[in-house]
Chains A and B, each alone.
Chain A
Amino acid sequence: MVPWIDASCILIVFFSLTILATYRISGMIQVFAVQSFVLGLMPFFLHADALAGRDVLIALGTILLKAALVPYILFWAIRHVSMRSEVKPLIGFGTSIICGALLIAGAFWVSLSLKLPGKPGSDLIFPCFLATVLLGFLIMVTRTRAVTQVLGYLVMENGIFLFAVSLFDAMPILIEMGILLDIFVAVFIMAIVVNHINEEFERSPVSVSRSKMGET
């Protein structure tokens, strides 16, 4: 199953790069959902020879939570806040993409000198984990909106999950589930907070005075 693991790892980094290069917030959320789906399939590829109950549990939990529920909440958030759907990056998209490519190269270069204990399914897992975390970090620091920053955080978490899932045997299932729950709660709180901020500012005098000054 090594080719499948390799292909999934590459795809996960590919989707992170795609999220970095996407203009629309809804597009970013969709790509994130696909990335999480690929990530959710990883336990099947990693333990194809001896599929245990917890593999299925983790896979189903990941797919249900990250590929369905979290994107749904994010979509709910951007719909209710009625924000503009364009991503506003601090640095341009071209620069972001070049930075992303350099970060990927850096991740591979760093992982050349790192020797891991234990035996992961494929030698691509560690560099891809590092690349995804770095790309998520880049998304987080260069995108200005709350939802896009959360997306960067989620991509980062996907990277960590990729690593965790390959070290599956050394990690209790309870911790995995705890992490998944944390993510869920974080996204949920973000959606509520963004919604509340929006409601506050709609009523606040700041926006009124701004529109009077013609700035809207």
Chain B
Amino acid sequence: MDIKPMLMNVFLVFVHWSIVLLFSPLFIGVIAKVKAIFAGKAGPPVFQPYFDLAKLFRKHSVYSRTTTWVFRGAPIVSFAAVLVLSLVIPLGMFKAPVQFPGDLLLAVYILSLARFFMISAAMDTGLSLEGMGASREAFFSCLSELALFMNFITLALLAHNISLSRMIGADIPMSWRTFGPALLLVVASFFIVLLAENCRIPVDDPDTHLELTMVHEVMILEHSGVDLAYMLYAAAAKLFIFAGILVPIIIPVHTGHPVTESILFLGGTLGLAILVGIVESSMARLRLNRVRNLLLFSFALAFFGFVVTKWRG
């Protein structure tokens, strides 16, 4: 077997990972900066998440005596799962290193795997608050998965393909002119899913540390040091990957020029980060029992998009 294409593939995988790892903390930093500006504060520098992660990576982890290997394994699994997930998502000029028909199912199930381990680790600590957070996470993700799948089905119908790279990638001439109405709904619905899956404000406040109301934060409450760093890095990378799915749908420009496409992708991601920051500054967190309705609303939008797509043929 020829060794050269294999080496090339390995190289592409590492390029993909380095993009995700390099830019994802910046995404979080931009959101924090926008929120600070809206609140009339100077706020931490945009690169603060990098410093936080570097600090955590230098620390040791502390483990409770009641925890088992599940607790220790969860950070690694969620971090690895996000890295594997990033391989099926095209990022700007770089096509997805792994693509096959039906890889959207792989993407959703890898997300579920990471979530399963997070929930198990939260239950493993035996802390009742973590159990509450885990139950909420499980409940919300059930509903957001519904909307996520509906969006993917609509995109697959539009692109006549069930591979993520062909649905959202640069390969198909998906333009707003022909598919505009359905895409409008998909974008709105996917944006809600993005906020819900990544525990941003209308669903969960990432800044709060009130045990009774938080969802994601309470699940990583017992993790410390390196483990916490992996968890935070995984969360940031997940947000970046979701943005990586949404941005090519909003800006379906295929210039074929690598530099332009990279600038467009990164600019779009930056814009999305600013948008998330604006949403977080202008909204309050929803009451817990209303999150369900928000996710159902997102599903209804996705379903509407699906209906319009079928109608248009």
Contact = CB atoms under 8 A, between A and B. Distances in A.
B266 interface: no
A140 B307 CA distance: 24
Interface stretch (A7-15, A146-154, A176-184, A202-210): A7-15
A10 B185 contact: yes
B296 A98 contact: yes
A41 to B, nearest CB: 16
B181 A10 contact: yes
B144 to A, nearest CB: 14
B297 A104 contact: no
Contact of B188 (A13, A14, A100): A14
A23 interface: yes
The size bracket of the interface on B is 20 to 34
A17 B304 CA distance: 10
Contacts, number: 63
Nearest to A98: B296
A112 B313 CA distance: 12
A7 B184 contact: yes
A101 B181 contact: no
B307 A94 contact: no
Given A14-B185, A17-B300, A98-B300, A7 B308 contact: no
Contacts of B299: 97, 101
Given A17-B304, A101-B299, A105-B303, A7 B292 contact: no
Contacts of B32: none
B311 interface: yes
Interface in A86-128: 93-94, 97-98, 100-101, 104-105, 108, 112, 123-124, 127
A21 interface: yes
Contact of B304 (A94, A98, A104): A104
14 contacts: A6-B180, A10-B308, A11-B184, A14-B301, A17-B304, A18-B297, A94-B292, A97-B296, A97-B300, A98-B296, A104-B300, A104-B307, A108-B308, A127-B311
Interface of B: 176-177, 180-181, 184-185, 188, 290, 292-293, 296-297, 299-301, 303-304, 307-308, 310-312
